Amino acid sequence: MAISREIGLKFTLCYAHLGLARLACLQGHYAQSHSILKEALLLSQDMGADWAFAFVLETNACAAAGQGSHETAAALWGAAARLREMVGAPLPQAYADIYQPFEAAARNGMGEAAFTTAWQRARQFPSPGVLELAQGLT
């Protein structure tokens, strides 16, 4: 990561931060995941990389679900799904498999109807609202 930072490889640096944040989340280190995502969020915004911003939202959703913030998690996944549709960047199956247990925990934690409502409501967020939500977690 130091070399990527030194020579300005923002893509590589962003992707590395996303991977570390997912790993922290999978290990149950949710606050650490949110912290790591701060840099990924800044890099995704700096690059104008909506696909990376979607990954930031989804990984934040996993950490939020792990912390029991199920409504926030549902909102983040809804916003990420909408963003992916808008930019034509479907969620790769490998990542869907990683996110699935966290999404299931959020669905179970708040109930299917409430999860769907929060998910759908977040799909209507204007872009600045989604950014504010993500910034509030990182």
Q: What architecture is domain 2-137?
A: Alpha Horseshoe (1.25)
What confidence score (pLDDT) does residue 123 get? 85
More confident residue, 136 or 59: 59
For all residues of the chain together, what is the average pLDDT?
A: 88
User: Given a cut of 90, is residue 119 above it in pLDDT?
Assistant: yes
DSSP assignments along the chain, one per residue: -HHHHHHT-HHHHHHHHHHHHHHHHHTT-HHHHHHHHHHHHHHHHHHT-HHHHHHHHHHHHHHHHHTT-HHHHHHHHHHHHHHHHHHT-PPPHHHHHHHHHHHHHHHHHH-HHHHHHHHHHHTT--HHHHHHHHHHH-
The pLDDT tens digits for 52-104 are 999 999 999 999 999 999 999 999 999 999 999 989 999 999 999 999 999 99
For the chain, the domains span 2-137
- Cβ(58)–Cβ(21) below 8 Å: no
The rounded distance, in Å, linking the Cα atoms of 130 and 97 is: 24
Whole-structure pTM value: 0.86
Instruction: Please list, residue by residue across 37-48, b when 16 or more beta carbons sit within 10 angstroms of its beta carbon and e when fewer do.
Output: bbbbbbbbbeee
- Single-letter amino acid, residue 132: E
